[in-house]
Amino acid sequence: MSKSGMPKSMLGRLSTAAARLRRQPDLAFGLVLLALVLLVVLFPGLFTAHSPLAINVDKAMEAPSSAHPFGTDDVGRDVLARVVHGARITLSICASALFAAAAIGGALGLVSGFIGGRIDMLLGRLIDVLLSFPPIIFGVMVTGILGPNTINLVLALTVVYVPLFFRIARSGAMAEASLTYVEAARSIGMSEPLVLFRHVARNVVPVILVQCMVLFPLMLQIQSALGFLGLGVQPPTPDWGAILQQGKDYILLAPWMSAFPGLAILVTALALMLVGRGLQRQMDRR
Amino acid sequence: MAIYLAKRLAASAVTALLASLVVFLLVRSVPGDVVGQMLGQTSDPVAAKALREFFGLDQPIWRQYFGWLARVLTADFGTSWTRGQPVLGMIGAALAVTIQLAFATLFLATLIGVPLGILAAMHEGGAIDRTVQALNLLGLAAPVFWIGLMLLVGVSSGFDWSPPLMYVPPTQSLFENLSIMALPVLSLALLQAAAYSQFVRQSIISALGQDYVRTAIAKGVSTRVIFFKHLLRNIAIPLVTFMGLILIQILGGAVIIESLFALPGLGRLLLSSIETRDYPVLQAGLLAVVVIAMLVNLAVDLSYRIIDPRVRLS
């Protein structure tokens, strides 16, 4: 035990992590940005005292000032408050859809790639067809079918992402299934499900998790695009895409209504991209 | 070559057939139908029944599908249920706009992205490289519709100009057409140029580490010749693949950009036909998207052979 009370191996690990970060300034910068975004998500009260929903028509479309740093919207709501409180809504929608898709697509892909044969061929074909639609068009269709509200948006984004995760998990499982250790596990009489879940899955799941980070920024883009088209979260709930949709009609009169939620998307996507790429690079190095 | 082409076309036809089924089922699962939209809340059941019979909506779904498929195979896409115009003409007119948008974007993105990527790769690790990379990241992180909105604000406050609101086809007035298309193309192109330059940079850097480049340098071949004769030819294949991917991505981005800038393209047609439950238009439009994506992929594969004679298509 060292003085700080931490086991030495943990200290050692922390210092190697710090050394790694020093070698990857992009990843470090991304992590700082991401920490900031998480702070906004967890403690919106730290960043604004205004309510995102309080209407004040007398103060409609005021330009940014010290009282309202991001200005006010067409019904006098504080744009900063809407952007800050929107972070939690927007990002939790993206994260839920991402994890649901990773779980469903990942599990299906693992099993399909591992068993192979006719089922795999059929599923693969179907997934190819689904992937031949550009994701936004697919998302527009599914939200159009389900109707615009928050839960349906999560469902639609999940449906759009399942084929992507299916493909990643399937190719991972196919590659693993041909390795010697799988053959060895089979030769000692391990059952197929056990080989799949105890060995193959363990090697594919980290790949899927990294892909979650890599695909997150794209998810944010699609989520906000659907919101912008009016197919996502409905007003007055503050969601970044939805705020942009409301700001669109006043773009020349009150550009701040659109500028700041867009910047929020940009900064978040940037943070996620930097972290995702950094993780992938770490993974490839191993 | 002919055999390969026939095989590919046959495989594409199977995928298209599957896609048509997916499209049909997707479209039919949209809640509510065109009759409800037309008659509204105060619908009289007799009229509703007559209209459903007229549109064939009273038939079992498999019969509706095969009926539609049989007509599509004879290039009969029917008539729009809400506008009464032939669907084929509507799709054609919308496609003309979207294709112009897509190719103009591809052109501009290539023009910006490729030189930037080359420049960054040539100065790998230096200040120019880092600047280009930072710009790429910003371009990729910014939502495309937000770029469009900010460009609108920029040109209206900077040049006191805003694009015309009514679409004009290039055959009518090329100047007016270009002034309408300028901002949508620029917004899409900035995003794609970022993706492009990143890709070009990465391809060149990895090609520079290859043996043939080292051999050429050792032989004393000039940098220019190495670049144009060896490098460019070797990164051409991944580059063409990438162009295909971008073209398909632009198709998706067009949905948002067209609705922002009020361009009467395929994306807007799809959105409006979902709203009005105009099945024939929606089905044909989605099928068009899938078929275009397939054709682009086929063109990409075929171009491999032209670029690299070693590639055998089989």
pLDDT tens sequence for chain B (314 residues): 778 888 888 888 888 888 888 888 877 776 666 677 667 666 677 777 777 777 777 777 888 888 888 888 888 888 888 888 899 999 999 999 999 999 999 999 999 999 999 899 888 888 999 999 999 999 999 999 999 999 999 988 888 787 777 788 888 888 888 888 989 999 999 999 999 899 999 888 888 878 888 888 888 888 888 877 778 777 887 888 888 888 888 888 888 999 999 899 999 999 888 888 888 898 899 889 888 888 888 888 888 777 777 766 55
For chain B, give the number of residues. Answer: 314
pLDDT (0 to 100) of residue B253: 87
Where in the sequence is the domain holding A104, given as residue range(s)? Answer: 8-285
In this structure, how many other beta carbons lie within 10 angstroms of the beta carbon of residue A205?
15
Asked if residue A227 belongs to a domain, the reply is: yes
- Answer yes or no: is B77 within a domain: no
Residue B3 in any domain: the answer is no
Least confident of A73-77, A261-265, B152-156, B220-224: B220-224
Asked if the C-beta of A23 comes within 8 angstroms of chain B's C-beta atoms, the answer is no
Residue-wise DSSP of A162-198 = HHHHHHHHHHHHHHHHTSHHHHHHHHTT--HHHIIII
Angle B309-B312-B314 (CA atoms, 0-180°, nearest 5)?
A: 155
Domain count, chain A: 1
Write down the pLDDT at residue B250: 86
Both tokens of residue A160? 């759009």
3-state secondary structure string across A7-54 = CHHHHHHHHHHHHHHHHCHHHHHHHHHHHHHHHHHHCHHHCCCCCCCC
Number of Cα atoms under 13 Å in the Cβ half of residue B276: 16
User: Which class for A157: exposed (0-12), middle (13-18), buried (19 or more C-beta within 10 A)?
Assistant: buried
Q: Is residue B72 part of a domain?
A: no
- Interface check for B142 against chain A (CB to CB < 8 A): the answer is yes
Domain count, chain B: 1
**Residue whose C-alpha is closest to residue A138's, from B22, B116, B128:** B22
Quote the pLDDT of residue B314: 52
Task: Establish if A2 belongs to a structural domain.
Answer: no
CATH code at A208? 1.10.3720.10
Of B26, B31, B152, the CB nearest to A147: B31
Tell whether B127 is covered by a domain.
yes
CATH code where residue B135 lies:
1.10.3720.10
Mean pLDDT to the nearest integer, A221-245: 91
A140 with B138: Cβ contact below 8 A = no
Residue A3 resides in a domain:
no
Which chain B residues are Cβ-neighbours of A132 within 8 angstroms?
Answer: 15, 19, 290, 293-294
Residue B185 inside a domain? The answer is yes
pLDDT digits (tens, 9 = 90+) for A171-188: 888 888 888 888 888 888
Domain presence at residue B249? yes
Q: Is residue B4 part of a domain?
A: no
Structural domain of residue B183, as residue ranges?
95-263+290-307
For A31-37, the CB contacts below 8 A with 24+ separation are A31/A274, A31/A275, A31/A278, A33/A267, A33/A270, A33/A271, A33/A274, A34/A271, A34/A272, A34/A275, A36/A271, A37/A87, A37/A91, A37/A267, A37/A268, A37/A271
User: A135 and B19: CB-CB below 8 Å?
Assistant: no
Give the closest-approach CA distance of A48 to chain B in angstroms: 24
Between chains, do B274 and A141 touch, taking CB under 8 Å as contact?
yes
Q: Is B245 on the interface with A (CB under 8 A)?
A: no
Q: Is A1 domain-assigned?
A: no
Q: How far is CA B301 from the centre of its chain?
A: 17
Mind telling me how many Å the CA of B61 is from chain A's nearest CA?
17
pLDDT at A8: 61
B249: contact with A, CB 8 A cutoff: yes
CB contacts of B257 in chain A (<8 Å) are: none
Phi, psi of A54 (to 5 degrees): -65, 120
| pLDDT score at A2 | 45
